[in-house]
Chain A
Amino acid sequence: MTAPFENPPVTEDETAPVVVEGPATLASAKATALAAEPLVSPFDSAGLVEVFRRRYLLKLLVQKEVQSRYQGSLLGVLWSYVQPLVRFCMYFFVIGLVFGLHKSVPNFAIHMFAALAGVHFFTETFSSGTRSIVRNKAIVRKMPMPREMFPVASVIVSAVNSFPQLLILFVGAVAVGWRPEWQGLAAGLLGFAVLTVLGTALALLFSAMNVFFKDFQNIVSTFQLFTHWIVPMIYPFAKLATSSMGHSYFYYLYMSNPLTVGVLLIQRCFWVPTIPACPSQYTCLPNGDPSALGYPDLPHHLFGLGLLMLAISAVILVMCQRAFSRLEGKFAERL
């Protein structure tokens, strides 16, 4: 784009050999150094690369978000525990006790909370990311900076806010006998990686589209009504797999949701190792050995599926970044 003007004819700045010392020499030296730089478009469109090059700014933006979030409230950070705990208790009571999943699913609370932690992180990323650019319009309209900063910062803020839940989950899992084990930890990391990459991608795309039509933030909150039902959270995967749906095309549709795979991986990390060596009332485990776990408790090739979903999410991320770059040229005037 900048081709014809990239290398201007190098002109001699210092026509006479400079003998004077001090600021004048410094200034002209600076000028020569500057003349060697290319002429570039001031509109920054390097995208995510630029965001990670300016990590210091990213750090400050994240701090700002985290600090300002609960300012002026008495409970402060505690609020990020309250909502998920309330939701958890409700599901636990209704689904676990009233519908009796306690009896048929071992450690149902861990099963549910593991899924909830993943889903909550994802929805938080998605919804706060979607609003991020509009919320920071004062800056976007006036100051030049990589605009991807805002969605990316909100992904990190969501991760920070999800941490308490993960801590509760961890403590709970340890209490019922969870012990670290390599495969499980790898599954957990992979699960969160899928959710992070996908969440970032969607946050980028929707934050850009939300600038043009505020409908998108409503679409996202509508979507959130589904998220708790389309992943194995309040029902175990086995239930779905062994139902009539497990043998239809619907099963493939269900499994092609990266969110589902991410949640299953997190459950593989926190829930599966806590399953007691199979007592007779559970129909679940072949030979009662958690490491031999397979269909129907978890899908076959869960790791393969996870890696595939990570790759797909990465492709989606690249596409969303492209879309963002096309849209960002009009942010300043549309906000």
Chain B
Amino acid sequence: MSTSILARNASKQFTMRYHRTIKQITIAAMRRQQISDTFLAVNDVSFEIEAGESVGLMGLNGSGKSTLLKLISGVMKPDSGQVLTRGRIAGLIATGAGFHPQLTGRDNVFLNAAILGMSEAETKRKFDEIVEFADIGKFLETPVGHYSSGMFSRLGFAVAVHTDCDIFLVDEVLAVGDRPFKKKCMARMEEVRAAGQTMLYVSHAAGSVRKMCDRVLVLEKGVLGFDGDVDEGIRYLKYDDDKDDEVDSEETEEDSDDELGADV
């Protein structure tokens, strides 16, 4: 098997800026205050993911998961080290980010698909499927600015889900959408997995990670703390004894899909 995602000593540093105008900077300098401060959102992270693997990316809020995902998707560039990928990348990250509120649903589908790298022919071929998945009915010709938030994210989702890719990234977006929609998304993720595409799944929900992934990476304050077996990883994060926290909603449901997007 070939490597699909490779990170070698990748680091990403963010600058927190206290003072923005010249006046503020001058005053700060006179008072001998610090003018800016930096922190490492992703700190010297190295790992290798083989093609076809399904990997869960876990960690507490602010541990650098989203930054790492942005380095992999190509939105950000590591300050040092390398992140390399092979093949086309798509996924359920930032769905609907490219939507323009004044354009209709239809126009936005074409624009968004083009940003994701689809050609005109490819979009036309998949258009009906996308619309059906999004289930927005007659609102297709309405500007998306007037959509409800659920419709907006469903449409964004639908486009992303229909992009052919070799690497499929999933951020904690499953929190949006109703139950049937979540089910559809999980089904799609299963498909991706079955098709032998590489999947990287960011989630706080131990249950769905257990179901979807065969390996877990755990980030702690930007450092890769754990890389290995799913159950061990969840234990490492001490998420398994949080089980009873998740009971509050429909625990009686047999497929426990309330864990899907549960933001712990």
Contact = CB atoms under 8 A, between A and B. Distances in A.
B85 A40 contact: yes
A160 interface: no
Contacts of A21: none
Secondary structure of the B contact surface, majority rule = loop
Contact of A40 (B15, B86, B97): B86
Nearest to B108: A64
A181 interface: no
B29 interface: no
A62 to B, nearest CB: 11
Interface band, chain A: 35 or more
Contacts of A13: 1
Interface residues of B, number: 42
Given A37-B86, A42-B83, A332-B70, A8 B2 contact: yes
Nearest to A32: B2
Contacts of A2: 82, 84
Interface in A7-29: 8, 11, 13, 23, 27-28
A60 B2 CA distance: 35
Nearest to A72: B102
B75 A141 contact: yes
Interface stretch (A78-86, A112-120, A142-150, A192-200): A142-150
A45 to B, nearest CB: 8
B77 A5 contact: no
Contact of B77 (A54, A139, A329): A329
A94 B178 CA distance: 65
Nearest to B41: A333
A142 B93 contact: yes
B64 interface: no
Interface of A: 1-2, 5, 8, 11, 13, 23, 27-28, 30-31, 34-35, 37-45, 54, 56-57, 60-61, 64, 67-68, 71-72, 138-139, 141-145, 328-329, 332-333
24 contacts: A5-B6, A27-B196, A34-B87, A34-B166, A35-B1, A39-B85, A40-B84, A40-B85, A42-B89, A43-B76, A44-B74, A45-B77, A56-B114, A64-B100, A64-B107, A64-B111, A67-B102, A67-B103, A142-B93, A142-B94, A143-B116, A328-B77, A329-B79, A332-B76
In the complex, the 8 A-B pairs of residues with the closest C-beta atoms, listed nearest first: A42-B74, A142-B94, A144-B74, A142-B97, A35-B2, A329-B77, A39-B84, A57-B114
